[in-house]
């Protein structure tokens, strides 16, 4: 069930350098970003008042825009400050932040050379409330009809709004059949990722994950790879064929929103969330916690 519509929440939103009431953060219908998908965004979480990997997210936001051939007219430092300011203004500690940049309305056509670039940052409460036990039940995924596009067809390194069109179609189709999400194959028919999160499998004590060469190399994916290696767990990035899922024991998704979410089912394939999924949930949830100043002083 949908809750309060997002345009009706209360609080403040940072828009083009100003902090304005939530209800006033609007764009015109003739906005290039709306018509032609010229928009890039980020999704990041704050834990205990600190935004996890803020600098990396902002760097990716800037890089995503450059791929779409526009430059965000605020520096990474200004954006980082604005994100932090949004937490304070909205009195949030455990939250989700959504920076989004888009082309405005000066020109309305494929070419948008004169369009101004806009940036908004919204933040809302989003506690990370699942206990590891609850998470370990795992979620069910269908197999998506659409595939991640060939890198020669779409700019996959950009977290561009347009690339999410096939994700929403795929997620809706999966939800209509009672699943939580869908697993997308890549353009060559190999395992790629879920609609908004990367995927990992466990086999014989090692982690296997697809090479991120046509989909987002998530910051959470990289964090989990580093955490696993720090524990001495082998992480193998390789091509994974869908039939191989038959032989995997565990499966989990990773993403700033999804965190580490075990999977019990992908189409005809079954997994039993187990020890390695549990370890990765625990390690990730520890890693995202703000570093306590008193511990720094003591060490």
Catalytic annotation, residues? 159
Q: Which stretch binds ligand PLP (CB under 6 A): 30-38, 73-81, 253-261, 285-293?
A: 253-261
- Rounded CA gap, 196 and 144, in Å? 13
259 touching ligand PLP, by CB under 6 A:
no
Least gap, CB of 23 to ligand PLP (angstroms): 27
Q: Do 122 and 13 touch, CB atoms closer than 8 A?
A: yes
> Given candidates 90, 220, 261, 264, which one binds ligand PLP under the rule CB under 6 A?
220
What does the CA dihedral 119, 125, 126, 131 come to, rounded to 10 degrees? 160
Q: Which stretch binds ligand PLP (CB under 6 A): 138-146, 219-227, 228-236, 281-289?
A: 219-227
> Given candidates 58, 64, 209, 256, which one binds ligand PLP under the rule CB under 6 A?
256
Least gap, CB of 194 to ligand PLP (angstroms): 7
Q: Which is nearer to ligand PLP, 40 or 117 (CB)?
A: 40
Query: How far, CA to CA in Å, does 199 sit from each of 63, 65, 232?
Result: 23, 25, 20
> Given candidates 182, 216, 263, 280, which one binds ligand PLP under the rule CB under 6 A?
216
Least gap, CB of 19 to ligand PLP (angstroms): 25
> Given candidates 64, 80, 198, 264, which one binds ligand PLP under the rule CB under 6 A?
198
Residues contacting residue 264 through CB under 8 Å, at least 6 positions apart: 137, 138, 139, 140, 270, 271, 272, 273
Which residues, numbered 28-47, are part of the site for ligand PLP (CB under 6 A)? 43
196 touching ligand PLP, by CB under 6 A:
yes
141 touching ligand PLP, by CB under 6 A:
no
Which residue reads 């997620």 in tokens? 171
Q: Are strands 269-270 and 259-266 parallel, antiparallel or unpaired?
A: antiparallel
Least gap, CB of 150 to ligand PLP (angstroms): 16
225 touching ligand PLP, by CB under 6 A:
no
Q: Which is nearer to ligand PLP, 105 or 256 (CB)?
A: 256
**Residues within the interface to ligand PLP (CB under 6 A):** 43, 193, 196-198, 215-216, 218-221, 254-256
């Amino acid at each position: 069930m949908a809750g309060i519509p997002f345009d009706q929440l209360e609080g403040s939103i940072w828009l083009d350098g100003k902090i304005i009431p939530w209800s006033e953060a609007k764009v015109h219908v003739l906005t290039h970003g709306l018509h032609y998908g010229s928009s890039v965004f980020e999704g990041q979480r704050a834990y205990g008042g600190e935004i996890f990997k803020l600098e990396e997210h902002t760097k990716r936001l800037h890089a995503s825009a450059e791929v779409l051939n526009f430059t965000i007219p605020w520096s990474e430092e200004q954006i980082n400050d604005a994100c932090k300011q949004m937490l304070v203004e909205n009195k949030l500690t455990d939250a989700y932040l959504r920076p989004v940049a888009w082309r405005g309305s000066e020109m309305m056509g494929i070419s948008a050379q004169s369009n101004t670039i806009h940036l908004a940052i919204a933040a809302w409460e989003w506690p990370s409330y699942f206990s590891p036990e609850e998470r370990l039940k795992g979620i069910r995924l269908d197999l998506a009809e659409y595939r991640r596009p060939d890198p020669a067809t779409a700019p996959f390194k950009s977290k561009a709004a347009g690339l999410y069109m096939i994700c929403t179609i795929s997620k809706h189709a999966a939800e209509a059949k009672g699943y939580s999400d869908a697993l997308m194959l890549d353009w060559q028919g190999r395992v790629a990722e879920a609609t908004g999160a990367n995927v990992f499998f466990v086999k014989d004590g090692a982690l296997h994950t697809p090479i991120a060469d046509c989909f987002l190399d998530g910051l959470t994916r990289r964090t989990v790879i580093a955490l696993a290696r720090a524990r001495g767990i082998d992480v193998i990035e390789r091509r994974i064929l869908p039939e191989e899922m038959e032989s995997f024991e565990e499966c989990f998704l990773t993403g700033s929103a999804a965190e580490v979410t075990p999977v019990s089912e992908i189409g005809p394939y079954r997994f039993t969330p187990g020890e390695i999924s549990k370890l990765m949930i625990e390690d990730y949830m520890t890693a995202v916690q703000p570093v306590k100043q008193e511990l720094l002083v003591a060490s």
